[in-house]
Amino acid sequence: MKKRLSIIFLLLLSLTLSSCLRDNFRALEERIDTLIEKQKHQQEQLDTFKALLEAEQAGISIVSFTQSSDGTGLVVAKLSDGTLLAITGGTISSFTKGESDMFAINGTTTMIPWSDDAQISIQKGYWAVGGTVTDIKVPTTTDKVLTKVLKQGEEIIFVFDDGTEIRLKQTLPAGFYFLSEGAWGRGDGELSYFSYDIDKDEYQFVEEKRVSNFGELPNSMIKYGSKLYIAVTGTEGVDNSYIKVLNAADGKVLKEIKTIVEEQKLQPRQLVSYKGEVYASLYSGYVMKIDTLNFEPKYTPVTGTHSEGLVAYDDELFICQSGQGNDNKISIVDLTKFEEKETIEVGYNPGTIVSDGKGTLYFNTLHVYSGPAQGTVSSIHKLDAKSRKITGNYDVRNQSIALIGDYLYTTDVDWMSSDYASSIKKISTTTDEVSDFAEELPMFMFVNRVVGYDPYRREIFFGQQMGADIFRYSETGELLQTIRAKEQNGAAMAFVWQEV
C-alpha cells in the first residue's frame, strides 16, 4: 500500500513539475517574443532616426504638419520627398512608398496601395492607413525618445532625450485658393488663386488662374491630401447643387458629385475630413460620405433639416441642425456604421461646431429672427463629447467661430449701429478670458468669418460679406495686408505649397 502511494506521489510530483516547467517555458517564450518585439521597435526607431538625419543632410524640408483630432495625440509630418512621419508617445514611425507602390511602415511593406491622400491613424494600438488597419503595432518603446518638436524661424527641430537635435526646414505656402460665394441668385461663385511674393511679403491675385461662374453659392472648401473639395449649395429644388473635387496642383476639376437621393435634390453646406473620408452636411435631412479614392458618395438620414456645421471626433460625427432658426438639435452619427445614433437638444439655431481633439467641442447658436425662439441672441457653448453635457457658455455675440490652438475666434457685425461696426473676439479655452483680437478694425470691414489660418507664418485670414476683401492679420492682431478678391462674400481658403 505504501509502495503504491509512493508511486502515486511520484507521478503527481512529476506531473506538477512538468506543468510548472511548461508554464516556465511558456513564460520564457513570451519574454523572448517580447524582447524580440522590443528590439524590433528599437531598431525601427533607430532606422527612422537615421532617416531623419539623412533628410537633414539632404536638405529635405517639411511641407505640412497636422495633428489628429481623434484624441490620440498623433502628429503627422509630410516631407518634401513624400515621406510621412507619424509622431506619437515619443516615437517616430516612417511611412514611405514600398514595393509595388504599396505603403511601407518602418520598412515593412503592407498591402495598402500608396496614395498622397491617405490619412494615418491609430486603431487599438495598430497603424491604420486610409481607414484600413494593418498588423503593424504602434511602437511604445525606443532607445532614443523624442521629447520635443520645436519651431524656430523656418525650421522644425526634433529634440531627443540624449540632447540630439535634428533640424528640418519648412516649406512655406506658395499661395492659396480662395472661394467666394458671390451674390444670391446670380450664380457667380468664384474660385481664385493668390500667389505669395516673398520679396514684397504680400499675396497677389493671379488673373489667369481665376475660375469665375463657379456655381450658385459655393459655401465650403477643404484641402484633403492633394485634392480640393468644394460644396456648392445651389438653390432649393433646382439641379445646381453638387460637390466638386479638384486637383490642388493645377485647379482642374476631377469629379462633380451630384447630391441627389431618390430624385430628391440635396444641398451641401459644410465639409470635414476624417480617416480617409470627406463628410458633407446637407440641407435636406441627410449627411453624405465621400470615398476619397474613388469619390463614390454614400448617404444616411439624420433627424432635422438645414444641417450646417459638422465635426468628427472619436468615430462620431456631430452635426448642427439649425432649421434656419426653427431647430435645436445636434445629430450624432456613428461613423463605424454610418448611421445616426442619437440627438442632443441644445439652443435654437446651432451653426458652427469645432473640436479641440481632446473631447471638448465648441458650437455657436446664431441669432434667431423668427420661430419659437424669436429674439434669442447668439452665444457660444462648450460640449463634452463623451457625456453629451453642456459644460460652459460664453455670452459673446457672434455669427461665426473658429478654433486655432487654444483660442476661439469670433466674428460679428452690429447691423443696428450707424457704422455697421465689426467685432472680432479672442476667447481663451484654458482661462475662458474674452478679449478684443485687435485694438482697431477697419471701417466698414463687414467681417464674416475666419476663412483660413497659416500655421507657419502664424497668420489669420478673415473674409468679408457684401464685399470682396480678405484681411490678413498676424496672430497678435496686426493688419498685414488687405487683399482684394473679385467676388463678394468670402467663404474659405486653402493653402498650397507649390505654385499652381
The pLDDT tens digits for 359-386 are 999 999 999 999 999 999 999 999 999 9
Question: Are 297 and 290 within 8 A, CB to CB?
Answer: yes
DSSP string, 13-66: HHHHHHHHHHHHHHHHHHHHHHHHHHHHHHHHHHHHHHHHHHHHHHT--EEEEE
Alpha helices in 176-264 (DSSP H): none
Average pLDDT over residues 381-392: 97
Res. 25: pLDDT tops 50: no
Say what percent of the chain tops pLDDT 70.
84
d(CA 166, CA 91): 14
Dihedral over alpha carbons 349, 350, 352, 353 (to 10 degrees): 180
Average pLDDT over residues 305-329: 95
Which cell numbers hold the place of 116? 498622397
Q: What is the mean pLDDT of the chain?
A: 84
Highest average pLDDT, of 123-137, 261-275, 307-321, comes from 307-321
pLDDT confidence of residue 170: 67
Burial of 153 from C-beta contacts in 10 A (0-12 / 13-18 / 19+): exposed
Q: For 338-357, write each residue's pLDDT tens digit.
A: 999 999 999 999 999 999 88
pLDDT confidence of residue 143: 64
Average pLDDT over residues 425-446: 94
Q: How confident is the model at residue 2 (pLDDT cuts 50, 70, 90)?
A: very low
CA angle at 76 for the pair 71 and 82, rounded to the nearest 5°? 155
Highest average pLDDT, of 47-51, 90-94, 356-360, comes from 356-360
d(CA 13, CA 352): 72
pTM for this one?
Answer: 0.76
Average pLDDT over residues 287-310: 94
Res. 412: pLDDT tops 90: yes
